[in-house]
Structure 1
Amino acid sequence: MAQDPVFVPADAEANKETHVEAGHKNTAVAEVDSSQSDTSSQRATQPVPLSWKLASVVLVTCIGFGSKWSSGVTGAMKSTMKKELNINNTQFSILEASEDFMVTALMMLSGVVTDRIGGAGAMLYGNAIYSVGSILVAAAAQTRSYKFMIGGRVISALGDIATQVAQYKVFSSWFAPNNGFASTLGFELGIGKIGAFAGKASANIIAERTGDFAWVFWVAVFMNIFTNVMTGVFYWFTRLANRKYHGIDDPATGEKLQEKSKKLHFKKVLQLPWSFWTVMAFSLFQTSTAVVFLQNATELAEQRFKTSSITAGWYSAVLQYAGFFVVPLLGVFLDLFGQRISALFFCGVGVFASMLLVCFSDNVKGTAASFGIFAFSYCFGPTTIIDSTRTSMWDSTVFGSAYAVKITMNNAMNIIVRVVTGRIQDADNNSYDKVTIVYVILAGCSVVVSLGLTLISWKSIDLRHLQWSRSKRIARGAELNERRELFFGVNKAKNMRTSLICFGVLIALVLGSWCAYFWGVATGNNG
């Protein structure tokens, strides 16, 4: 049966050439004997069939659906939780930031470990820990204990830390840039939006119909049980796949894609390329804008639309996730045509326009329009950022660590923004009139960064290749290899200094977020 030439590894080609030469020198019988003796080595380099790759995507997507469902619950329940737990906006922000705090403390270590042990193993134990945390959160809701709920969120964060990196690490080892990675991301994130929509839209309905908001969190526990079952199936699937198939190469550069390494690569982690850090600069502002806005969208809809929490939950869920069908299409587009920086710029401008409407148009029409623009524009963010992160790297073996850097940075920024906006909102009598100014500033910064990326890409191939299509990337693969050799060769010392400076800024951001978190804990209870 013919194989797709895109996925044939270099070793398989070498074996093929060896057998051809042997055929010229030996008899047909000897050739058959030779091929039989090399059966095990051929199997070891046999490329993974497309059907197996698609099966892995489906399994990871099922896992993501359950986790995204749970993640959509808390934001939708903000007004209800403040009432039932007798807390203010600052205390609610601390509850959300508790998970962010654990991520900033442990995510980097988790990324390095995931690169070592592989994504499937990390997902298995991570989801188990997350489920324990979700049970504690549900119990805290049942007993109406705010401090107990913080403890539960911390435990669930330990599991979430392991799983956030793991699933994308798996994708990076099965698909190369411009060769299925973005399409896979798009499909998984699109289904994840449906899961988040289901959780957010149903949360207040469950709370009202059952008469106890704790049932919302118990339903989340049941969803986590489903997630654990699917994770177990995926772990078995990947072990079977690793025994049967090996040797996936990047069709453009020939780089061998791997799910796990033989050792921990701390030095490589400290040598991430400058193009990677420019993508992080965009994510720093855009992702934080989106996360904090989504946290407060339901309550904002309640105030602006003057409606119940159930109706507001439906409004915010529909308007925020209605663009779920765009995400898979975007993934296919990025794989075929590239244009990642252009997509980032479009996302930044769209979210900025949305935040301007939220800030300066407090009527029903203006708020509805801002939600609609946000829903569509935000669809261009996560897939493009993750795909750009992967494409900007010269060594895929530390992609898990690189993605951990992104998550650490985003969560550190989220803590600062959440605590600050919570205090602003409390001081403004729970209004969204002043706090939305912060949203505008953050979104405006993402536009400035994306414009800078566009200008730099015209001059530097290290960033410009993020715009390349599949055919162009394959055609210019040798040029990419040359840049990679320069990065690890002549320019190694310079690149190391640049990366260490960026890591220094990241550490300062993390320490600043910890100060904001503990300041919020110290002052929030008196708010």
Structure 2
Amino acid sequence: MASNQPQVPLNEKGTEDRLARPGSSTAESAASDDEQTKLELEDGFEEEDEVPAVVIPLKYRITAIVLIILFGTGNTYAGFVLGPLKTRLVRELKITNAQFSVVSSASSLVNTLLPIIGGAIIDRYGGSRIALGSAVLCVAGTVLSACSSIDNRYTLLVGGEIILGFGSAIQDICQYKLYPHWFAGSHMGLIFGVNVAWSRVIQLVARLTAVPMADIGPGRYWGWAMWIPCITTFLSGFCVYAYYFFENRILPAQYRPPKPEVHSEQSLLSDWKDTIKSIVLLPKFYWIMNVTQMLQGGATRVWLRNVADIQVKSRGTSEQAAGYNAALQTVIPIVLTPVTGLFFDKIGWRMVFVTTTSLIWILVWGLAGFTKVNFLAPVLISSFAYVTNLIPFMATVPILLPSNELMGTAFGVWQSYQNAGTLIMDVASGAIQDKTPGHQYDRVFIMIMAFKAYDAFLGPFYDWLDGRWLGHQLRMPERKRRNKLVQLELRGQKYKGHERSKFWTWVGCSVLSAMVVTGWALYIIYSMAR
């Protein structure tokens, strides 16, 4: 059958290549140009070419997905009550805007590196096992944050947010590790979309209830805005343990996610060292996307965490009204995010949304920062950017990997990049705001708009790499993409984009290290009381 796809470089892939490590003769041989072959990929497969797979009954999939989605409900709620309370916390704790940025980015501090370790361990021991420990960390973090309200202790609040952040990041990776097992090849994009949509629902509730919770009682004790999320985090932890029981006691063995066995303490230590080394097995396209996206998530987070305070500063809106208005930007994504995920599953074209989302953000920030239009206009427009801000990358990371074996490590490195970028942008934006006359956001908007202008060019760049290295896998619907990938594996071949590159691994690790050092330096400097 004639093909419209470009010639895609492929390598012969045997068992030795999958187990080879950088520096070994096998790995170098597999990467050499002499052994590369080109195979013209057909646009699709005939019905008889589809690879049979174990079909998990719907009742098990629905039960699993509901419980997995509920993993992060409590910690998401706890993390998003801080934004609407910025003005209140700055006043109650007697801190600067930069110090509030330290609080709001505290969860990103430990998550600049630890998700990599956590992701590798998740790959080795399974998502459900590690989720048990992360649930305990989330509860402990919210308890500390709530206790800080008793006598307005800024340092205790920072400590609680750090612990909560680490638990939340590991829990997120556990979710991302488990989702492909249940829905890869069918509705993986939809499930990621539902996950994001549910997170948006919780964010909406958090923004709507944060200020009212802080005014409960005759003394208007703001601590209720911390204690109530603490209770929801405990309930989410119960869902984690319920899933573990379901997976190991109720689910038939043939449907369970694979778990390697650990036979002794010695083998556990040895396997732990091996999983840490798995970072060098990540493919080059994956590293390129990480490096080029390093500060983009942080730029968006500056807006999301400060949108209520921006209204107070630029439009004179009351704190409570600003909190309600800010919550509106999460309404549309609740409906459209799953639709976007379903679009990826049925149609494809994931990278188109990278550019369109960036252009929408530029429009939003221009209206909010440099005009006096009703603030509801940029808030409502931003909701459309919010729909496609995250899900294209969540749906893309699994495609950039040759198999699910490194899923935890890949999402761990991605989380580390995003958290390091968020840490840098959060603290830097707070410092810039402090030095702006009237503590306005004009200079902050200029900075984040510049980053999004650069991001607008990355969508076409990724699409070009996709065509060159992955045969336009990122354009394909999920079933067609999965079938084509499995067919290549059966032929003993793989996409060039799934190859490892020592150069891009070195660049990726170096950039991440520099971001971590920069973020920690900014954090330490601005967390000091003045």
**TM exceeding 0.5:** yes
CA distance in 1, matches of 2:250, 2:297: 34
What is the aligned partner in structure 2 of residue 347 from structure 1?
Answer: 357
> For 1:163, which of 171, 178, 188 is the aligned residue?
171
Deviations 1:293-341 (A, max 9, x none): 1111111122233221111101001124432100111111111111111
Deviations 1:391-440 (A, max 9, x none): 11113111111101111011111111111111111111321122211121
Q: How many residues align?
A: 465
- Aligned letter for 2:294? L
What is the aligned partner in structure 2 of residue 250 from structure 1?
Answer: none
CA distance in 2, matches of 1:357, 1:427: 22
> For 1:420, which of 421, 428, 431 is the aligned residue?
428
Judging changes above 3 Å, is the alpha-carbon distance between structure 1 residues 180 and 454 closer, same or farther for their aligned structure 2 residues? same
Contact 1:114–1:260 under 8 Å retained in 2: no
Q: Secondary structure at the match of 2:226?
A: helix
CA distance in 2, matches of 1:503, 1:480: 30
> For 2:282, which of 260, 269, 272 is the aligned residue?
272
Q: Secondary structure at the match of 1:87?
A: coil
Q: How does 1:371-390 map to 2 (within 5 A)?
A: 371-390=379-398
> For 1:181, which of 179, 188, 191 is the aligned residue?
188
**Deviation for aligned residue 1:487:** 6.2
Q: Secondary structure at the match of 2:442?
A: coil
Check if 1:397 corresponds to 2:405.
yes
Percent identity reads 21
- TM-score using structure 2 length: 0.82
Judging changes above 3 Å, is the alpha-carbon distance between structure 1 residues 477 and 126 closer, same or farther for their aligned structure 2 residues? closer
> For 2:511, which of 490, 499, 505 is the aligned residue?
505
Higher share of residues assigned helix: 1
CA distance in 2, matches of 1:443, 1:265: 35
Q: How does 1:91-490 map to 2 (within 5 A)?
A: 91-176=99-184, 178-210=185-217, 211-240=220-249, 243-246=252-255, 258=258, 263=271, 264-281=274-291, 283-361=293-371, 363-365=372-374, 367-428=375-436, 429-458=438-467, 460-462=468-470, 464-474=472-482, 476-477=484-485, 480-481=488-489, 485-486=493-494
Q: Which of 154-163 and 100-109 deviates more?
A: 154-163
- Aligned letter for 1:297? V
Judging changes above 3 Å, is the alpha-carbon distance between structure 1 residues 480 and 70 closer, same or farther for their aligned structure 2 residues? farther
CA distance in 1, matches of 2:238, 2:479: 39
In the alignment, structure 1 segments of 5+ residues that lack a partner are: 1-44, 248-256
CA distance in 1, matches of 2:496, 2:281: 9
- Aligned letter for 1:185? F
CA distance in 2, matches of 1:467, 1:483: 22
Contact 1:169–1:259 under 8 Å retained in 2: no
**Deviation for aligned residue 1:93:** 1.0
Deviations 1:207-246 (A, max 9, x none): 1243111111011111112111111111111213554333
CA distance in 2, matches of 1:261, 1:187: 32
CA distance in 1, matches of 2:417, 2:495: 24
What is the aligned partner in structure 2 of residue 63 from structure 1?
Answer: 71
CA distance in 1, matches of 2:317, 2:352: 38
**Deviation for aligned residue 1:517:** 1.7
Judging changes above 3 Å, is the alpha-carbon distance between structure 1 residues 143 and 431 closer, same or farther for their aligned structure 2 residues? same
What is the aligned partner in structure 2 of residue 516 from structure 1?
Answer: 522
Contact 1:130–1:159 under 8 Å retained in 2: yes
What is the aligned partner in structure 2 of residue 14 from structure 1?
Answer: none
CA distance in 1, matches of 2:292, 2:187: 24
Contact 1:285–1:445 under 8 Å retained in 2: no
Q: Which of 464-473 and 304-313 deviates more?
A: 464-473
What is the aligned partner in structure 2 of residue 253 from structure 1?
Answer: none
Judging changes above 3 Å, is the alpha-carbon distance between structure 1 residues 149 and 486 closer, same or farther for their aligned structure 2 residues? same
Judging changes above 3 Å, is the alpha-carbon distance between structure 1 residues 486 and 55 closer, same or farther for their aligned structure 2 residues? closer
**Deviation for aligned residue 1:281:** 4.2
- Aligned letter for 2:349? Q
Deviations 1:106-162 (A, max 9, x none): 121111111111111222111111111111111101210111211222222332232
Contact 1:271–1:496 under 8 Å retained in 2: no
CA distance in 1, matches of 2:281, 2:113: 21
CA distance in 2, matches of 1:309, 1:462: 49
CA distance in 2, matches of 1:355, 1:56: 39
Deviations 1:221-275 (A, max 9, x none): 111121111111111112135543338xxxxxxxxx7466874434432121222
Judging changes above 3 Å, is the alpha-carbon distance between structure 1 residues 179 and 78 closer, same or farther for their aligned structure 2 residues? same
Judging changes above 3 Å, is the alpha-carbon distance between structure 1 residues 306 and 105 closer, same or farther for their aligned structure 2 residues? same
Q: How does 1:487-498 map to 2 (within 5 A)?
A: 495-498=501-504
Q: Secondary structure at the match of 1:141?
A: coil
Judging changes above 3 Å, is the alpha-carbon distance between structure 1 residues 448 and 389 closer, same or farther for their aligned structure 2 residues? same
CA distance in 1, matches of 2:358, 2:412: 22
Deviations 1:75-131 (A, max 9, x none): 111111101111110111111232211111312111111111111122211111111
Contact 2:186–2:479 under 8 Å retained in 1: no
**Deviation for aligned residue 1:356:** 2.5
What is the aligned partner in structure 2 of residue 77 from structure 1?
Answer: 85
CA distance in 2, matches of 1:352, 1:278: 24
Q: Which of 142-151 and 508-517 deviates more?
A: 508-517
Contact 2:131–2:171 under 8 Å retained in 1: yes
- Aligned letter for 1:212? Y
- TM-score using structure 1 length: 0.82
Judging changes above 3 Å, is the alpha-carbon distance between structure 1 residues 153 and 465 closer, same or farther for their aligned structure 2 residues? same
CA distance in 1, matches of 2:246, 2:454: 43
Judging changes above 3 Å, is the alpha-carbon distance between structure 1 residues 481 and 497 closer, same or farther for their aligned structure 2 residues? farther
- Aligned letter for 2:287? W
CA distance in 2, matches of 1:47, 1:471: 14
In the alignment, structure 2 segments of 5+ residues that lack a partner are: 1-52, 263-270
Q: Secondary structure at the match of 2:281?
A: coil
Q: Secondary structure at the match of 1:279?
A: helix
Contact 1:103–1:157 under 8 Å retained in 2: yes
Contact 2:146–2:226 under 8 Å retained in 1: yes
Superposition RMSD in Å: 2.5
**Deviation for aligned residue 1:171:** 0.7
- Aligned letter for 2:366? L
Q: Secondary structure at the match of 2:95?
A: coil
Query: Which is greater in Rg?
Result: 1
Contact 1:273–1:495 under 8 Å retained in 2: yes
